[in-house]
Amino acid sequence: MAPAKGDKNVALSNMNLERLLSMKGGKGEASYANNSQAQAVHARSVLHLLKETLDTVHLEDNPNITFTVVDLGCSCGSNAINTMDVIIKHIIKRYQDLGFVPPEFSAFFSDLPSNDFNTLFQLFPPLLVNYGGGVSLEECLAADNHRSYFVAGVPGSFYRRLFPARSISFFHSAFSLHWISQIPESVMEKKSKEYNRGRVFIHGASESTGNAYKKQFQADLASFLKCRSLEIKKGGSMFLVFLGRTSPDPTDQGGPGLLFGTHFQHAWDDLVQEGLISSEKRDDFNIPLYASSLQDFKEVVEADGSFVINRLELFKGGSPLVVSRPDDGAEVGRALANSCRTVSGVLVDAHIGEHLSNELFSRVARRAASQGKQLLDQIQFFHIVASLSLAQSRSQNF
């Protein structure tokens, strides 16, 4: 059989995900900036837990020591900026309540090099006039249209070192740690029992495939914790929010499974059946995402020993789809297709080309439209919320 159209593109397994993976940039219909309303709602729902973690951070009675915050996996929308504003203002209020003179604040926004930092930077409000040179606490707390912190972007994988040792006061990461650093090699090996034949996501795969993803997630998390334990200051804390699941079965991915394992999966099958791509081309594509269980996460944190878990819970985040007319199947279909494309479109484009990518996501929209109301009722995301502090044993080594 002659190669199907689109097979000239490089298989995803041979790509460098770190240089490729990103939320869809710009400000178009399928961009992250225009498809992250659900994440904003979910972020607001855990703000009280974020503030609880901020209250555990040790504050220095020394205005010459900069307080440094990092957002890991910032993407390119306004959500990261809004959360950073909450963090800085809460810490300023804590300094005020303690009777301390607050220091200057520095905020690092970090993501993979492929992230659309330009769109993110364009969304930042201006720095307060004379910030750091006589601006009062009241002005900082009331700065709704200005920021009271210095900004820098830091490209790189958070599974490796990003910052100097003992330089960060607080780490925040939302909706990012479920992205694994790579597709497990055995999952892409046709002769392996972990080979994910016929599927583009872990949902509904074999037990051995699910375990391969679990091992990759836990290995990545161990690297993440090791790096952050070296970078965080004594008395620092970390707040993490990422996709989780209710089932102990790694192949039952819940909400992400409905997002990528149903209409998205069937759209790939459509392209194969229509001869637009080969089955091998489909099987060479896998979504590098893993929704963890609480136990998956807890095992790694406890084995690593660098951090103490202050809070760990599974939080119902709701639907990732935001629609104005729930009874309009076509709108629901477009919303699902845009959600899929926002987070996976860059990978799909690279794997099969933009033309076939357009074909794929149009089929996702059409398939989802036929089950719009049912889809809205079924698709629910759960998030793991974790509040961590540096373990005493690590603090004593500083």
**Domain architecture of the chain: domains with CATH:** 12-393 (3.40.50.150)
Beta strands 232-244 and 67-72, pairing class: unpaired
Task: Give the per-residue SS3 of 99-134.
Answer: CCCCCCEEEEEEECCCCCHHHHHHHCCCECCCCCCC
Model confidence over 65-92: pLDDT tens digits? Answer: 999 999 999 887 788 899 999 999 999 9
Average pLDDT over every residue of 141-151: 80
pLDDT at 59: 95
Average pLDDT across the chain, whole number: 85
Rounded average pLDDT over 234-245: 95
pLDDT at 307 over 50: yes
Rounded Cα distance between 202 and 210, Å, is: 6
Give pLDDT, residue 233.
96
Q: Span 287-300, mean pLDDT? A: 95
Answer left, alpha or beta for residue 245, where phi above 0 means left and psi between -120 and 50 means alpha. Answer: beta
Residues 361-387: what's their mean pLDDT?
86
**Residue 86: exposed, middle, or buried by beta-carbon count in 10 A (0-12, 13-18, 19+)?**
middle
Q: Which pLDDT value is given to residue 2?
A: 38
User: What separation in angstroms does the CA of 339 have from each of 14, 292, 308?
Assistant: 25, 20, 34
Give the rounded distance of the alpha carbon of 111 from its chain centre.
10
Side chain identity at 299, as an amino acid letter?
A: E
What percentage of the chain exceeds 70 in pLDDT?
84
Task: Give the number of residues written for the chain.
Answer: 398
Token pair, residue 152, equals 């820098």
pLDDT by residue (tens digit) across 246-274?
A: 999 999 988 888 888 888 999 999 999 99
Instruction: Count other C-beta atoms under 10 Å from residue 51's C-beta.
Output: 16
Condensed to tens digits (0 to 9), the pLDDT of residues 19-36 reads: 665 554 445 554 455 555
pLDDT for the residue 394:
58
Summarised one tens digit per residue, pLDDT across range 162-171 is 999 999 999 9
Q: What is the mean pLDDT of residues 51-73?
A: 94
Kindly state the tokens that stand for 69. 């915050």
What's the mean pLDDT in 237-252? Answer: 94
For 194-219, the pLDDT digits (tens) are: 999 999 999 999 999 999 999 999 99
Q: What is the DSSP letter of 142?
A: T
